[in-house]
Amino acid sequence: MGNLPRSVVSRKPTDTMRIILTSFAGVLFGFFIGVSFPTLSLTKFNLSSSLLPEADLSKLEGEKTGILNVPVSNAPTESPHLNDTSKIWVSSNPRGAERLAPKIIAAESDFYLHKLWGNPSEDLTSRPRYLVTFTVGYDQRNNIDAAVKKFSENFTIVLFHYDGRTTEWDEFEWSKRAIHISARKQTKWWYAKRFLHPDIVAAYDYIFIWDEDLGVENFDAEEYLKLARKHGLEISQPGLEPNRKITWQMTKRRDDREVHKETEEKPGRCPDPHLPPCAAFIEIMAPVFSRDAWRCIWHMIQNDLVHGWGIDFALRKCVEPAHEKIGVVDAQWVVHQSLPSLGSQGEKYEGHSPWRAVRLRCRKEWFIFDDRMKKAERAYFSSMGIDPPKLKSL
């Protein structure tokens, strides 16, 4: 067998046993240390890129645990820096802005125009309190010119251009301080949903969202708002001069009062005198909304329904009591000229003329909106364990 090293030959049995016991104790100690602390993730270490130049740490961790790291659309509600006080995390901030110090957040905005030079604090010599928008085509420029002149400098003017023609409007001096937004062949409700978010128009007490075919000879915007405030109207419109084109009795001007909030309709139209179209109702051609009412209505506007038919019957859901806070201002009235302007922007569809195709789309949207509203309310009451009330069509 040859000669063994002296160290092996001379080692006693007790020494060998001591080595075995020490090794076993080390293994047990390591096991208890391992189960006493939570699993450490590689992503928690600040490893130099020179150490792991090609490693995708999140992928490694996913492979280790068997769980894929799928991006989550909802922002976290708790701070990822709970143990790091040098990091900012304010859960009460607007969603997505939790990492900002609260005093820097500008959650609301406006349409005030600013200069490109000088001190920012010197930009605004006035801050209009009201907003008026018109959805326009260039052919109606003279009508819009007459309408804009009925609104004081206390109004911000916004024109939504459905025909793509914007620069030609600079023939009017007021146009140079107006806001021009252009998208071809779109309606005012399409524009309103995309450009009049409540946080964008939060600076304005009232928002006018008007058509382009209104005669305003007997209208003054400041006087109108005085009456709206006086009578507690959150949603309103000017009265319409009676003519054969009047659709609803509610919107017809009365010459014996400042404001009316209810009316009588054709037999069978109003089973409840506090509901549309006999009360809590205005039309969508010339609506005026308070800031608070608009915040609710904006959320009700659907992204794919652009004509707004049916919305006028649902406005009542945004104020309470609706039959007291929705009304028509008779002392300030307009004429609906019924010009087929935006309707002429349509195209032939299934054998119908452009104008007729647009009108059929309007009516179809009304039924879709009505159906969505009823289904949404039924789902709500069902989730609350409540038998839904009988829901009337809009």
Instruction: Write the pLDDT tens digit of every residue in 294-351.
Output: 999 999 999 999 999 999 999 999 999 999 999 999 999 999 987 767 767 777 787 8
Structure tokens at 86: 């040098």
The CATH number covering residue 219 comes to: 3.90.550.10
- Higher local confidence (pLDDT), 166 or 12: 166
Q: What is the pLDDT of residue 323?
A: 97
DSSP per residue, 252-289: B--TT-SEE-B---STTS-SSTTSTTTBS---SSS-EE
36 inside domain: no
How far lies 118's CA from each of 34, 104, 112, 134, 176, in Å? 64, 22, 16, 32, 20
DSSP E strand boundaries for 36-147: 130-136
- Does the residue 263 lie in any domain? yes
Residue 152 lies in a domain: yes
Provide the domain count of the chain. Answer: 1
Cβ count within 10 A of residue 360: 14
Top-confidence residue, 52 or 115: 115
Residue ranges making up the domain that contains 294:
128-343
Closest CA to 148 of 208, 197, 194: 208
Residue 390 confidence (pLDDT) above 90: no
Dump pLDDT digits (tens) for 202-245: 999 999 999 999 999 999 999 999 999 999 999 999 999 987 67
| Bigger pLDDT: 248 vs 6 | 248
pLDDT of residue 324: 98
**pLDDT surpasses 70 at 25:** no
Note whether residue 206 is domain-resident.
Answer: yes
Q: Phi and psi for 327 in degrees, rounded to 5?
A: -165, 175
Per-residue pLDDT tens digits for 108-151: 999 999 999 999 999 999 999 999 999 999 999 999 999 999 99
Under 8 Å between Cβ of 254 and 333:
no
Give the chain's count of helices (H) and strands (E).
10, 9
Chain mean position to CA 39? 43
When pLDDT is cut at 50, 70 and 90, the band that residue 81 belongs to is low
pLDDT tier at 77 (50, 70, 90 boundaries)?
A: low
Q: What is the pTM of this model?
A: 0.77
CB 89 within 8 A of CB 80: yes
**For position 65, what pLDDT does the model report?**
37
HSE-up (13 A, CA, CB side) for residue 341:
24
Q: What is the DSSP letter of 354?
A: H
**Mean pLDDT estimate for the chain:** 84
Quick check: is 304 in a domain?
Answer: yes
Cβ-contact 198, 301 below 8 angstroms: no
pLDDT given for residue 53 in this prediction? 41
DSSP summary character for residue 45: S
- Looking at the domain assignment, is residue 113 inside a domain? no
Residue 271 forms part of a structural domain:
yes
Among 4-13, 58-67, 171-180, 275-284, name the one with the lowest average pLDDT.
58-67
Closest CA to 131 of 218, 225, 213: 225
**385, part of any domain:** no
